């Protein structure tokens, strides 16, 4: 798991979102950083390059994927839901 970048959650400072070349977004709780809250939150295919939290809607992120275009994802502690893909 090579982490590309870390994005802090603007609506909850206890949670971080990591993205990596292994296709997965992972949610972390900084109060217990030994393992992710959800190891395979959502698989976006072919590596996730960048993620940006929505500025006004908590839990919605835009993900730039290396080969699959852009994805809009709804996330929470228990699951990730792929809302749309723009290839």
pTM here is 0.79
Residue 1 has pLDDT above 60, yes or no: no
Tell me how far the alpha carbon of residue 15 is from its chain's centroid: 11
Number of domain units in the chain: 1
pLDDT at 76: 76
CB 22 within 8 A of CB 36: no
Alpha carbons within 13 angstroms on the beta-carbon side of residue 43 total 4
Residue 28 has pLDDT above 70, yes or no: yes
Burial category of 76 from C-beta neighbours within 10 Å (exposed 0-12, middle 13-18, buried 19 and up):
middle
At residue 41's C-alpha, the angle toward residues 66 and 19, to 5°, is 35
Residue 69's domain is classified under what CATH number? 2.40.10
- State how far the Cα of 28 lies from the Cα of 18, in Å rounded to an integer: 8
Interval 34-80: pLDDT, tens: 888 876 667 776 677 788 889 889 889 888 887 778 889 888 767 78
CB 54 within 8 A of CB 64: no
pLDDT at 37: 83
Domain that holds residue 21: 3-86
The more confidently predicted of residues 20 and 15 is 15
């Amino acid at each position: 798991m090579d982490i590309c970048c870390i994005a802090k959650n603007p609506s909850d400072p206890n949670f971080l979102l990591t993205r990596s070349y292994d296709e997965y977004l992972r949610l972390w709780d900084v109060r217990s950083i030994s393992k992710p809250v959800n190891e395979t939150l959502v698989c976006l295919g072919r590596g996730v390059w960048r993620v940006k939290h929505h500025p006004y809607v908590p839990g919605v992120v835009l993900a730039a994927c290396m080969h699959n275009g852009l994805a809009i994802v709804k996330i929470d502690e228990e699951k990730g839901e792929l809302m749309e893909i723009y290839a």
